[in-house]
Amino acid sequence: MWATRRMRSADRMSRGWRRRRGFLGYIHKLVRGLFVEDPERWHSPYVEKPWVAAVDGFAIGGGARLLLVFDHVLAASDAYLSLPAAKEGIIPGVANFRFSRYVGPRLSRQVILEGRRIWASEPQARLLADEVVDPQELDAAVERSLERLDGEALLANRRMLNLAEEPAEAFRAYMAEFALQQALRLYGEDVIHKVGRFAARSS
């Protein structure tokens, strides 16, 4: 019933998911659940479960975006997170839609527009991580959080929280504009130049 993942180099994870069904679709399934064709599930076609994340080292880009949809987030005291997409010339997925909900508009601009890192040792990190623990205590903290995320009414309450925090209509409106703006950025001269330099170094 549970899933945990240590967030280290989450961009490696995001590239893998893009090759399959798309990273944004994957994250959306964490929020809304997995669609299943089961006639006995008359009340909802989606299967959901709570998710716990543990940041061990760092959560950069895709890893930081994942933290915004997990139900409980733990971070090692020496970890940090960042969203460097704007510095790379693109938009960090749905982070612009969700990040302000957690940290507010000022800190969102510092992280997304200016490239600020948030270290787990900073007070602001508690806006994104429910618990900050010593690295050696991370596994035990994960187990304790899983024990707390239990109960017959947990999934119903999780669904209603997600519905209130992120209405599907607002998500669709954001994604429509995101698709246009990201496409424009992907063909920007600066991005093409960076991709060319990266390809040259890799060859």
How many C-alpha atoms does 40 have within 13 Å on its Cβ side?
A: 1
Three-class DSSP category at 17: helix
- The top-scoring range by mean pLDDT among 6-20, 37-51, 79-93 is 79-93
**Given a cut of 50, is residue 50 above it in pLDDT?**
yes
**Given a cut of 90, is residue 198 above it in pLDDT?**
no
Q: Which pLDDT score is estimated for 13? A: 37
Residue 114 structure tokens: 């200016």
pLDDT in tens, 135-188: 999 999 999 999 999 889 999 999 999 999 999 899 999 999 999 999 999 999
What domains appear along the chain, each with residue ranges and CATH number? Answer: 4-166 (3.90.226.10)
| Residue 79 to residue 37: CA distance in whole angstroms | 40
Q: Which of 3, 17, 1, 7 is nearest to 129 (CA)?
A: 7
Mean pLDDT of 124-135: 96
pLDDT in tens, 61-114: 999 999 999 999 999 999 999 999 999 999 999 999 999 999 999 999 999 999
Contacts for 64 with CB less than 8 Å, ≥ 6 apart:
7, 10, 81, 82, 83, 92, 95
| Residue 48 to residue 28: CA distance in whole angstroms | 11
Locus of tokens 């690295």: 135
Q: Which pLDDT score is estimated for 145? A: 95
